[in-house]
Amino acid sequence: MAGRLILAALLGAMALGLGCTTPPVDGPVDPAPPSGILPKDSFVLVLAEVQLVEGVAQLRTYRNDNERQRLAEAYNDVWARTGVSAARFERSHEWWWGQPAAMKSVLRNVVDRLKDMEAELNHNDTTLSGQAAKFRPPSPDQASPKSGDQLPR
């Protein structure tokens, strides 16, 4: 009788222990996308471009223009430069976000891509001007206020 109680207690503890564990994150870390879905490296490149467009929109750079039109033009520019249609990107975006284990590395790669793009722009700017952009004096056309500009007092 005591043996059965101990066995029941052990089985109960094991069942309780298994039920309380955190389920693993779904999906493989490096899945092979199905047909019609962008491969990981291509998705990273396009997603980095889309993040730039969305960042500009958040900064409200287009505030004096027709925002929706400018944003649509910026997205269309991404689709034209990358050769990826908006529909294919949307399908790929949905599929990749459905792979939580893989998205961790996708997002890291997007950040790395954005850093590489920034470094390349800084390098090109320094190479062309001989100075880093933040330390370069303003060009003559930027040195004086234009009509309608308001200088802080």
pLDDT, one tens digit per residue, over 18-68 is 555 454 456 788 899 999 999 999 999 999 999 999 988 888 765 666 888
On the question of pLDDT at 109 being above 70, the answer is yes
Cβ atoms 125, 132 nearer than 8 A:
yes
pLDDT recorded at residue 75: 95
List the Cα angle 48/71/68 in 5-degree steps. 150
For 66-94, the pLDDT digits (tens) are 888 888 999 999 999 999 999 999 999 99
**Residue 112 carries which side chain, given as an amino acid letter?**
D
Reading the block at residue 53, the tokens are 């467009």
Q: Burial, 114: exposed, middle or buried (Cβ in 10 Å; 0-12, 13-18, 19+)?
A: middle
- Domain extents for the chain? 37-133
Q: Is 80 helix (H, G, I), strand (E, B) or coil?
A: helix
The pTM is what?
0.64
